[in-house]
Amino acid sequence: MDSVVDRYSKDIITVGQIVTEDPRKAEIFRKYDIDFCCGGKQPLAQACREKGLDVTKVQEELTSIDSSPADRQQQYDQWQVDFLADYIVNVHHSYLRENIPLILELSDKIGRVHGENHPEAIEIARLFAEAAVDLQQHLVKEEQELFPYIKKLQQAAQSGEDINKSPYASATEKLLTYEEEHEEVGGILKQIRLLSNNFKLPDDVCNTYRVTYAKLDEFEQDIHQHIHLENNILFPGALDLERHSQS
């Protein structure tokens, strides 16, 4: 039987699969700035090569986590897709709706107050405002179109009834559109991290600047987990149910 390190060494397992099987390992990927959400379909070895990382060292850190038992509550891949969709709305969509207005206010303020000495603050405020608009539209589409359809798929699978025709010309193509929107937002947040030098505070700034950077860092981490749950677990699960309903 292959060891976990041997398994990671193969160009088969992806970073998304690793986090799906054990969400605790997301922290290792965050440490090395390896994208496990939008880039979750990338094999571990390839992700390490692109970052110039020692793949053996990363493998060893990943396997070290296996010595302690995983939290059963975090095994999202064991959840039914309708329950996972509700979890995403109740946890991640709620987080976004609560924090987007706050961060918009904070980032706008540091741009106005500190923009002369730190022009990156102005650009960060602009980029976050762009991401906020995209995300707010994205949440509405998920809650009004996509997630209700996913729940119908789960209900049909449980009852044995035929699902009504998909509301999409192609569910696969529709999900790819959602993934592309995820990539756009992820790209904007990556730009913000680069502009902020990984949220490193300048020496001459106020507490509002400190709070803004802390909230942006927290926001990005939540988005990564949010996108991972959708791209790597919810969407593949929905497609499996749809294929089963059409067979």
pLDDT at 8: 54
Predicted TM-score of the model (pTM):
0.80
Structure tokens belonging to residue 142:
């998920």
At 217-240, the pLDDT tens digits run: 999 999 999 999 999 999 999 888
Helical segments of 52-146, H only: 55-64, 81-87, 94-114, 119-141
The yes-or-no verdict on residue 7 having pLDDT over 70 is no
**Res. 108 pLDDT band, cuts 50 70 90:** very high
Sign of the CA dihedral with 225 first, then 127, 174, and 50 last: negative
C-beta of residue 15 within 8 angstroms of C-beta of residue 44: yes
Amino acid at 81: V
pLDDT at 163: 63
For 167-197, the DSSP string reads: SSS-HHHHHHHHHHHHHHHHHHHHHHHHHTT
Decide which of 203 and 97 is more confident.
Answer: 97
Structure tokens belonging to residue 180:
């592309």
At 136-195, the pLDDT tens digits run: 999 999 999 999 988 888 888 887 766 655 555 556 778 889 999 999 999 999 999 999
Mean pLDDT value across residues 77-83: 91
Share of the chain above pLDDT 70, in %: 87
C-beta of residue 209 within 8 angstroms of C-beta of residue 201: yes
Note the residue count of the chain.
Answer: 247
Q: How far apart are the first and last CA of the chain?
A: 34
Partnered with residue 14 across adjacent β-strands are 43
C-alpha gyration radius of the chain: 20
